[in-house]
Structure 1
């Protein structure tokens, strides 16, 4: 389980992986050591305010991109959320660039026909209101399958091979997560810039309206990822 800032941990994803030993690594901490792919049943990489293109500025991002390449080569199930999805795209050779507008707040994603058949994203089909919080988007890597889109973003989710998923949105979000993020100055600044002075009221109200349904659907998706990890673990024993 990889995080980049203290407030963007696995949240609801961790509950779906309760049968596994979870090891959390701060990828940007000095001297951080990412685990050997051969020892892993799966990898979850979370978000953060930095860019997937910051590999020259942040050595930890450069190391993480190389590590993700090794995960893919080893067939380790991978779930990347927000920045984690962008890092997956970059590690697979695709571009990450600024979106036309920051996408922050609760809004629908609609599954593509491939997404409706996907083990994870079909839990969100045909459409689910999710939490968005990003300014950059990814191109689709070669050989990847686009799984979902939003009004602003063509590729909101993709699968690479049969075990690596990138979700640009936050299906792990609920009222607790939104409240936690709104206590962080960097998140408050981003939300105010995108939504205006009523950002806190808008996000809190939307979380109250949509979090229960998102949790129900999101948890189903995360349990599907846990099954992929269990299949990997059974092959390692």
Structure 2
């Protein structure tokens, strides 16, 4: 039996892991909530953890010069990935993984955002993880340019990097599979000013379309989590040949 704790990294006091947290707890995992922006230290020894999930937040992955928590996460991510621990980054978490691997994060050239329900489609490599095109829930105003050591899994026209894999055990998704209807209701009120940005959908769309678009996303993330947890290189590696570390990742993160 492997470790039964999952490190949940959030960025604000009231942030929650939503459906992803609930699905992991349902599988018997204990969630260890960490918020480096509020001064939490991130664990150096990962042997107690079956995985790490970094969630979203209103700050930028480029804020490492002004936010100690963001710098701390950028320094920590390569250690987690190289240790062979399953890593999942959602929205800001995916952008932090991109930057840690040597990629770039920045706004859309025309200032467009993705806030609401957006279509994404798998790449050829992504068909191993997505059955086909999917409507996902988004809340972001920056996108990613991933380095060559990462493989693109999902894309669309507005923000071409929607999902990617970095080595055998690290994944990043621009969208929010964790967000419940209750969370959508809260976000669209507490951050209502974001709904005025170019490309954002209005609150009524977020709430009324949940019943239509959420069930397939719920099934997808439920299936994905089992496959993601099984990417643990510490358990599955039959020999030293099955790389516990990713040299490209380590080099990109230097």
TM-score above 0.5: yes
CA distance in 2, matches of 1:73, 1:224: 19
Residue ranges of structure 2 left out of the alignment (5+ in a row): 1-7, 238-254
Is residue 2:134 matched to residue 1:128? yes
Residue number in structure 1 paired with 2:192: 188
Q: 1:14 is paired with a residue of what secondary structure?
A: helix
Q: Structure 1 residue runs of 4+, over 4 Å off? A: 231-235
Is residue 2:28 matched to residue 1:17? no
Residue number in structure 2 paired with 1:113: 124
Q: Aligned pair in 2 of structure 1 residues 228, 10: CA closer, same or farther (>3 Å)?
A: farther
Out of 79, 85, 106, the residue aligned to residue 76 of structure 1 is: 85
Residue number in structure 2 paired with 1:204: 207
Aligned partners of 1:173 and 1:215 also within 8 Å: no
* Superposed displacement of residue 98, structure 1: 0.9
Residue ranges of structure 1 left out of the alignment (5+ in a row): none
Residue number in structure 2 paired with 1:153: 159
Q: Aligned pair in 2 of structure 1 residues 217, 74: CA closer, same or farther (>3 Å)?
A: same
* Superposed displacement of residue 108, structure 1: 1.2
CA distance in 1, matches of 2:195, 2:226: 30
Q: Aligned pair in 2 of structure 1 residues 143, 195: CA closer, same or farther (>3 Å)?
A: closer
CA distance in 2, matches of 1:92, 1:37: 21
Give the 5 Å matches for 1:90-109: 90-100=99-109, 101-109=112-120
Alignment length (residue pairs): 225
RMSD (Å) for aligned C-alpha atoms: 2.0
Aligned partners of 1:173 and 1:214 also within 8 Å: no
Give the 5 Å matches for 1:21-36: 21-30=30-39, 32-36=40-44
Q: 1:189 is paired with a residue of what secondary structure?
A: helix
Q: Aligned pair in 2 of structure 1 residues 174, 67: CA closer, same or farther (>3 Å)?
A: same
TM-score (norm 1): 0.87
Aligned partners of 1:7 and 1:181 also within 8 Å: no
Which piece of structure 1 moves more, 78-87 or 208-217? 208-217
Which piece of structure 1 moves more, 87-96 or 204-213? 204-213
Q: 2:12 is paired with a residue of what secondary structure?
A: coil
* Superposed displacement of residue 89, structure 1: 0.5
* Superposed displacement of residue 234, structure 1: 7.7
TM-score (norm 2): 0.82
* Superposed displacement of residue 44, structure 1: 0.3
